[in-house]
């Protein structure tokens, strides 16, 4: 598998590159991803290409997650993990996630809301077993019962108990 990676901040993308990502993610997810991608504040994209063709994608945004009673942690929150249908099952998704993990070592933590927990567990991610909340103004709003979050411990991650309450700041669009 000959693969090349590009790590690029969203504001540095050309219009054509942005359209390529929107089209790629929309095809991979089977839905129009433009509205969701437009909600992400200052994303950084990881693009995996084989022979110049985009085969897999992931991005992260900075969020502030908090495990009570610890201070809020600067978190690389991972979104829009996608591999093109013809390229699935060939290791490209794993490769893009490993590359992303190499790029975010200066964060306190990494997190995501998984569609396939088993995929991420194989890459070292842990399912958060405690209750989940969203912080809005001075309130803690409980997350729906079916919401799941996974975390990846990074070199700067403090000792964490994954059974404690975890909260993230409110944001437009999908809360987790």
CATH number of the domain bearing residue 137: 3.40.630.30
Q: Considering the domain boundaries, does residue 144 fall inside one? A: yes
SS3 (DSSP) at 131: coil
The phi and psi torsions of 44 (rounded to 5 degrees) equal -120, 125
Q: Considering the domain boundaries, does residue 109 fall inside one? A: yes
Per-residue confidence (pLDDT) for residue 73, from 0 to 100: 98
Distance CA 49, CA 81 (A): 14
Per-residue confidence (pLDDT) for residue 1, from 0 to 100: 59
pTM (two decimals): 0.96
Quick check: 135 and 166 in contact, CB under 8 A?
no
Q: Considering the domain boundaries, does residue 60 fall inside one? A: yes
Nearest to 129 by CA among 159, 162, 167: 162
Quick check: 112 and 150 in contact, CB under 8 A?
yes
State how far Cα 148 lies from the chain centre: 13
| Containing structural domain, residue 77 | 4-169
How many domains, in total, are found in the chain?
A: 1
Under-70 pLDDT residues of the chain: 1
Q: Considering the domain boundaries, does residue 159 fall inside one? A: yes
Q: What is the pLDDT of residues 78-96, one digit of tens each?
A: 999 999 999 999 999 999 9
Per-residue confidence (pLDDT) for residue 39, from 0 to 100: 93
State how far Cα 159 lies from the chain centre: 21
Q: Considering the domain boundaries, does residue 18 fall inside one? A: yes
Q: What is the pLDDT of residues 13-31, one digit of tens each?
A: 999 999 999 999 999 999 9
Give the residues across from 53 on adjacent strands.
50
Q: Considering the domain boundaries, does residue 176 fall inside one? A: no
Q: Considering the domain boundaries, does residue 174 fall inside one? A: no
Q: Considering the domain boundaries, does residue 175 fall inside one? A: no
């Amino acid at each position: 598998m000959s693969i090349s990676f590009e790590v690029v901040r969203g504001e540095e993308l050309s219009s054509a590159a942005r359209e390529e990502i929107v089209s790629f993610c929309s095809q991979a997810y089977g839905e129009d991803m433009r509205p969701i991608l437009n909600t992400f504040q200052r994303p950084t994209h990881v693009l995996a290409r084989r022979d110049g063709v985009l085969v897999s994608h992931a991005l992260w945004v900075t969020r502030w997650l908090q495990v009570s009673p610890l201070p809020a942690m600067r978190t690389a929150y991972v979104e829009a993990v996608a591999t093109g249908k013809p390229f699935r099952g060939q290791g490209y998704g794993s490769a893009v996630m490993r590359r992303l993990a190499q790029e975010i070592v200066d964060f306190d933590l990494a997190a995501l809301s998984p569609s396939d927990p088993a995929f991420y567990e194989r890459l070292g991610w842990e399912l958060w077993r405690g209750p989940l909340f969203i912080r809005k103004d001075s309130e803690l709003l409980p997350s729906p019962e079916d919401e799941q979050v996974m975390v990846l411990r990074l070199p700067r991650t403090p000792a964490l108990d994954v059974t404690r309450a975890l909260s993230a700041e409110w944001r437009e669009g999908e809360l987790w």
